[in-house]
Chains A and B, each alone.
Chain A
Amino acid sequence: MATVKVNQLAKDDLFWQIDYKHDRCTLCGKCVASCPFQAIEAKVEKRRKVVSEDITPNPKVYFQTIPVIKQVISEYNFCRGCGICEKVCPNDAIKPVRNSDHRFQAKYRATVADPFKRGGRSNLETDGRTLDKIKVGRISQMTDPSLDAQRHTFDMRAPFGRVLAPDEIPLEVDSSGRLVLKNNLPPVRWIYPIIIGDMSIGALSWRMWEALAIATAYLNEEVGIPIRMCSGEGGVPVRLLKSRFLKYIILQIASGHFGWNRIVNAMPHMVEDPAGVLIKIGQGAKPGDGGLLMAKKVAKHIQEIRGVPKADLLSPPNHQGLYSIEESVQKMFLSFNAAFKFRVPVAIKVAASATSVSVYNNLLRDPYNIVGGFFLDGIDGGTGAAHEISLDHTGHPIVSKLRDCYKAALHQGKQGQIPLWAAGGMGKNWNLAADAFKMICLGANGIFTGKLMLQLAGCVGNDMGKCNACNTGLCPVGICTQNPTLVKRLDIDKVAENIVNYFIAVDHELKKLMAPVGNSSLPVGRSDALISTDKSVAERLDINYAC
C-alpha cells in the first residue's frame, strides 16, 4: 500500500468543492468548456455495476470505465466558486459548494512561496455596514412640508474644482450695481454627485470599459444625468481622447504614470477639455500600495495604450520624487493645472487612513488654491488585483473618516472649499442612492463608485470569497480580463443599458430621499437629518441616536 500523502493538497483544502451528479450529467462538456480556470476536467472513473438480465434473479457484476467531470486539485487551477459551470449546465448536474473548512491560503503560500493574490473585495466581513445603521430620520411634516419627488425639481449637482471663499473671489460692483469678476477663477465643474470611479482599461476589459463610457455618454446626453467617469490609471484610447466625449471623462494620473505620454501626445488634437484630472495617491483596497496589473492581463492593446511591454505592471506605492504635501501641490498640481491651461479642475485621491485629515487640512490651507477636490477611498474599495493581506487587513472604513474630514473643514470655516468625494463600499448593499444620500448628509459633496458597476455588468463575485479572480486575467464573465474568448461573453450594449437603467433608478431614489426632508438641493452636511440605531455609531459620527 502506498504512503498516505497527507501533506498534499486535497479536495477538502480548497475553497470550493464541486458537487457533481454523474447520474444527471449527459457529458455535454459545457461546464469544462466554460470554466476559465480549468478547475474541472473530463476524466474517467472505474464503476462497478450489478445487473440481472434473466427472468429470475441472476446478478452479474460488471466493471465499466465511464467518463465523468472531475475537480482539479491544484494551487494554480483551483475552483473559484464562480458558478459558471452551474450556469451553463443544462441538467443541473454540477455546482460549486463552499467549503467552510478550507485551508487554502495556507497551503497556497506554503507551496508557492508567494503572497496570495486575488481581486475583488475584502472578505473579512466582521460586522454590518455602518451606513446601514444610519437612517434618514428627520422627515418633514407640516412645519416644513416635504416635496413631491415626482413633481418638484431638484438641483442635484456637486462641485468638482477649487471653490474660493466668498471674500477671495475677485468681485467688484459695477456702475449698475452688479458684481463683475476682475480676474480668472479656478475652474469648478458642477456634476452629478455620483462619479463612476476609477477602474483602468487594463484592469477592466476593453468591452467593459467601453460599456461604461457608452453608459456615461448616454446618461449625459439622453437622460440628462451629468455623470462623470474616471479613467483609472493606464491611459485612455486615443479615439476617445480626440472625441467630444472626453468632456465626460476624468483622466487619472497615478504613480506609474501609465498612459500619460499618449494623453500628452493627444492634447493638441483634443476638441474638448477632459472633465477633470484625478491624481491618485492611494486607494482604499490596498492602501499604501500602488497599482498591480498582472502580465496575464497586459494584452497587446493594453501595451499600446500604456506604452509598456508585456510584464507585470506594478505602480510604485508613491509618486517618485515627491516627499511632501507642499511639494506635491507645487509640482504635481501646478503642472497638471498648467497642462490644461488652468481650465480643468485637478483633484487628488487618497486612501482613507489615520492621516487623511492632516492631508486634507494641509490642502485646505494651500495658498495656491489649485486643489480641486479631495477623493477619499475607504477600505471597501474594489480592485482588479491585490495581495490578499492588503485587501483583508489594511485600510480604514470610509464613513467616520469622511466625517472627520468634513468636520476638520468645518472647524476652519472652510467647508465646501475643497469638495469632498468619498467612496469604498458605496452601493455594497445594492442601494447606491441611500449610501450617497447618507454620505452627503455627513459632509460629502458627492461619492464615487466602482465595484457596483461590475456587479451591474454581471460580475459573479461577492464579499464571501466567491470568484474574486479579477487578478487572473480569466474573469469568467469578461469584465476583468483581456482574453478575447472571455471578453466576448460580455454584451456591451446590455451592460451599458443596465448601468444607464440603474442610474435612472438611483436618480429617482435620490429624489425620494431629498423630498421627505424637504430639500431641493443637496443636503451637504445636514447630519441633523440622520439618526443611528447604534449608539456608538451615533456618538462617533455626531448624529442623533434613536432606538
Chain B
Amino acid sequence: MCRIGAIKSKEYIHPSVALRLMRSQQKGHDNSGFAMIMQDLGGVFEGYKGLPILSMACTDEGIKIAEDILHKKGFVRLFQWAPQVFPKPGLKIEPMPNYVFQVYQYPKLYNYAPQEEKEELLVDMRLAIRHELETQDLGYVYSFWPDVLTLKEIGDPSDIGEYFNLWEENDHFKAKIITAQCRQNTNYDIVRYAAHPFFLQGYTALANGENTFYEKNKNLQKKLYKGYIGFESDSQCFLYTLHYVHKKLKWPLIYYKHTITPIPFEELSQREDGHILANIRASLAHLEINGPNTIIGVLPDGTLFTCCDSKKLRPVVVGRDENTVVITSEVTGINDILPNRNWQDDIYPGEREMVVINDELEVVRWQQ
C-alpha cells in the first residue's frame, strides 16, 4: 500500500519534515516513487504569492518548448529556481535532466481579467505544455498555479531526499502546507504522472487505496471538464470529483463526502435532508467510490481535510500540536515529527466522518 501524509503548519516548514514523516512509514511502500506538493510557499518564493509557478521535470528541449508556449501567450518569466542536485553513485533514483520551478507574470491582456478567466488560462497553458511534452517525450509538467510547487520523482524516497539535498533544512525552500506520498505501485506502469498528490486549480488530493469504481468515475469525468485528463492512476478520480463538486458545482465541502460515499438508502429516508442527498446520489452515482480508500485533500484556501471510503479499510490518523497538524497513514509518522503532542488527542476518522482543518488549524470533525 502507499503511504500518504499531509502537514499544515502555522510556520513555514521544510520538506525534510515530510520526508521524515514518510520514512517512518517505510514498510508500506516499494520505492516506486516519492512526490510532494508544497502550497503557501516561503523561502525564495515568498515574495511572489499571487503569481503562477510552473513545476516541471524535463529535458533541455522541454524547457524551451514550455517557455515558448508561455511567451507566445504573453507570460513573462520573473524568477526561476532550481533545486541543487547531488548525484552520487548508488542512489536509487531515475532523475530527469532538469527540475524547473519558474514564476511567471500574467500576460498584460489579462491584467483586468476576472479571476475565473485567469484560472482557465492557467489550465489551458498547462494542458498545452503537457501535450507538447508528451507527444515529443520531453518531460512532465505537474502544476502551473500561484504559490504551488510540485516535485515528483521515481526512486527510493531517502535517496531522492539525498539527491535534492532535502534532508538538510534550509530557509529557501519552505511551505506551510506539504502533502506527500510514497508509492507502492501495483496497478500501472511506473510513470511520474501517476504519483500522488494530484493537483488542479488549487485543489490537491492524494489517496491510499484502490478505486474499484475507477472505470465509472473516469468515464463520467472525461466529459465534465477539460482539466480532467490523464487518469494515470485510479486515484486521480478523487481529485477531479473534489474539484467538480467544490469548484464547478460550488457545493460545500461536506457534499464531497456525500458524493463519494453516499448514505445508504434506508438511512436517507429517515433524514430531513434525505431528499436532497438522494438526488445527489442519483445524479452523481458514477462518482461514488466503493473500494478501500483514504483520501487527503487541500482546498485553494488552504483548508486541509481527510476522509475514508464507506468501509474504512485503509488507515489514517490525525495528530496535532498548537502549531502543526499532521494527517498520515500511520501514527508512527506523527510520532516521529510531533513526538511531544498529546497523542490522546489523535483522531482516527470513521467511515462516515470528515476531518477538516481550517487556516487557524482548528480541527472540525464532521459526521455525514
Contacts and interface: CB of A to CB of B under 8 A. Distances in A.
A526 to B, nearest CB: 6
A57 interface: no
Interface residues of B, number: 43
Contacts of B286: 415-416, 524-525
A429 interface: no
Interface size class of A (residues with CB under 8 A): 35 or more
Contact of A526 (B209, B216, B249, B276): B216
A415 B283 contact: no
Interface string A256-280: 0000000000000000000000000
Interface string B273-301: 10110111011111010111000000000
Contact of B220 (A171, A179, A413): A413
A525 B212 contact: no
A328 interface: no
A34 to B, nearest CB: 48
Contacts of B262: 521
B17 interface: no
B288 A144 contact: no
Interface stretch (B107-115, B123-131, B251-259, B329-337): B251-259
B214 interface: yes
B213 interface: yes
Nearest to B313: A145
B340 to A, nearest CB: 35
Contact of B219 (A140, A159, A415, A519): A415
A181 B215 contact: no
B212 A140 contact: yes
B310 interface: yes
A153 B286 CA distance: 20
Interface stretch (A160-168, A209-217, A459-467): A160-168
A178 interface: yes
B248 interface: yes
B264 interface: yes
B252 A524 contact: no
Interface in B169-200: 186-187
20 contacts: A143-B187, A144-B291, A153-B264, A155-B264, A155-B265, A163-B282, A165-B283, A169-B279, A169-B283, A171-B276, A178-B252, A185-B279, A415-B286, A517-B212, A520-B310, A521-B290, A523-B216, A523-B290, A524-B216, A524-B286
Given A169-B279, A169-B283, 19 more contacts: A143-B187, A157-B265, A167-B248, A177-B252, A177-B254, A178-B273, A181-B279, A188-B278, A188-B279, A190-B278, A410-B219, A415-B220, A416-B285, A416-B286, A518-B291, A519-B290, A520-B310, A521-B288, A524-B286
Interface of B: 1, 186-187, 209-210, 212-216, 219-220, 222-224, 248-252, 254-255, 262, 264-265, 273, 275-276, 278-280, 282-286, 288, 290-292, 310-311, 313
